[in-house]
């Protein structure tokens, strides 16, 4: 994150991303540190962040792994970088709502790496069928 990024918050004060300059335009960046738009006018960049919001944090994601199938995970923490500190994204293997399912937490860097991606249609079904 660069010092010229402007935080953008919902009406309740929750951070939903940043708007950063790109030439004469602006780019929306979500809380995972990923671009949520291409170059736009300021108001359109704000609208892009409002559209994305935080709801994607409730979705299941896939984490690609070297030499193994992708893991179905849930995002449990997003901590953007602060001065002198690195940010992080923490994911947890999906328990599919089972209270006794073993889970593993994995700490990723910020911005979220490309290995963390949204699920594709038909992917990541329940292990119980």
Could you read off the pLDDT of 51-76 as tens digits, one per residue? Answer: 988 888 888 999 998 888 899 999 99
Percent of the chain exceeding pLDDT 70 equals 95
Q: Supply the DSSP string of 62-95, one letter for each residue.
A: EEEETTEEEEEEEEEEEE--BTTB--EEEEEE--
| Backbone phi and psi for residue 73, each to the nearest 5 degrees, phi listed first | -135, 165
> Would you call 55 helix, strand, or coil by DSSP?
helix
The pTM score is 0.84
Q: What pLDDT sits at residue 128?
A: 47
Could you read off the pLDDT of 9-46 as tens digits, one per residue? Answer: 999 999 999 999 999 999 999 999 999 999 999 999 99
CA–CA separation, 52 and 102 (whole Å): 31
């Amino acid at each position: 994150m660069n010092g010229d990024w402007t935080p953008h918050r919902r009406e309740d004060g929750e951070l939903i991303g940043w708007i950063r300059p790109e030439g004469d335009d602006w780019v929306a960046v979500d809380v995972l540190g990923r671009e949520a738009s291409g170059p736009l006018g300021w108001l359109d960049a704000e609208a892009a962040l409002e559209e994305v919001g935080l709801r994607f944090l409730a979705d299941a994601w896939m984490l690609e792994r070297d030499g193994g199938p992708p893991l179905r995970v849930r995002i449990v923490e997003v901590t953007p970088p602060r001065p002198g500190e690195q940010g992080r994204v923490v994911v947890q293997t999906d328990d599919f709502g089972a209270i006794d399912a073993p889970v593993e937490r994995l700490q990723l860097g910020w911005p979220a790496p490309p290995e963390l991606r949204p699920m594709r249609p038909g992917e990541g079904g329940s292990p119980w069928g």
